[in-house]
Amino acid sequence: FLSLVAQFCCGFFVILILGNFWFLAVLYLLWLYLDWETPCTGGRRSQWVRSWTVWKYFREYFPIQLIKTSDLNPNHNYLFGFHPHGVLVAGAFGNFCTGSSFKNLFPGLTPYLHIMPIWFGCPFFREYIMSAGMVSASKESVSYVLNNEGGGHASIIVIGGAEESLNAHPGSLTLNILKRKGFIKMALKHGAHLVPVFSFGENELFKQVANPKGSWLRNVQEKLQKIMGFALPLFHARGIFQYSFGLIPFRQPIHTVVGSPIPVKRNLNPTTEDIEQLHALYLQELRKLFEEHKGNYGIPGHKSLIFE
């Protein structure tokens, strides 16, 4: 979805350059130069954009629901670890970038969804995603959000990243997390409480072409991901008037469950042991969250999360 909108925005920019409106393109490039750091300094959200009626229909299509399991004190800053990535990351967008129930469930907290910096290089598109509350996933950007002295900020990071989207098959419970410890270090440096988040139904929205590890397709996808920074899963779902083939996601309920916070004491120079210890605790709490709620959302009792 983001990719399609980005392509449209880039195409519109090319039309400006090639048409009689090249001067507007030049002015925009000047603006881009002056505004380049904004995605790393909290972005530029617009409550008007976040409240568009289209997002209400977007959430109701699946539908998307946010579930709270514990109160979050707005005097603290938080780092939400969102799982799994899926293909669309619909739960993260629907719950944290639109006028959803987040504000009512967690009063006093402002969510910031961190996405790959490459998206903020797309003309016009960057203005839209910042308006929705998205910011860069760079270290500088995460630090800026978590440095808020009064608390009340929540950084949402999709921990598995683009690589995990290649595992987004219906029924898949594999998370790319064992080697991902940068978010743990950031939480320690800023004393941000860690909150595991699991979005049930995220992997059920599309059917992806079989790409087991070691296959030629998976090898190609992984090489392209390393070169471009984002993955290219080959997927399909339903059409507008038929249900057998298309790019519109299936209507599958998404329940995004926000877990209890893991208190984190600020440590400006965490050791490897500190990071490993907190990472192990985070995995434990994430698994606990999943096990406690899987029965409510159609996951068989014998199935568990796979960390790799």
Given a cut of 70, whether residue 178 has pLDDT beyond it is yes
Are 113 and 134 in contact, with CB atoms under 8 Å apart? yes
Q: Quote the CA–CA distance of 194 and 237 in Å, as a whole number.
A: 34
In three-state secondary structure terms, 186 is helix
pLDDT at 234 (0 to 100)? 85
Within 10 angstroms of residue 1's Cβ, the number of other Cβ atoms is 13
184-204 average pLDDT score: 98
Greater model confidence, 227 or 2: 227
Q: Quote the CA–CA distance of 26 and 16 in Å, as a whole number.
A: 9
pLDDT at 42 (0 to 100)? 96
Q: Which residue has the tokens 């199935």?
A: 303
Q: Which residues on adjacent β-strands are paired with residue 68? A: 258
191-209 average pLDDT score: 96
277-294 average pLDDT score: 98
> 40-307 adopts what CATH topology?
Glycerol-3-phosphate (1)-acyltransferase (3.40.1130)
Domain residue limits, the chain = 1-35, 40-307
208-258 pLDDT per residue, tens? 999 999 999 989 988 888 777 777 888 888 888 777 788 889 999 999 999
Angle at alpha carbon of residue 282, lines to 184 and 260, rounded to 5°: 110
162-183 average pLDDT score: 94
Helices (H), the chain: 2-18, 22-34, 47-50, 53-61, 90-96, 102-105, 125-131, 139-146, 161-164, 182-190, 216-228, 272-293
pLDDT at 2 (0 to 100)? 58
pLDDT at 8 (0 to 100)? 57
52-80 pLDDT per residue, tens? 999 999 999 999 999 999 999 999 999 99
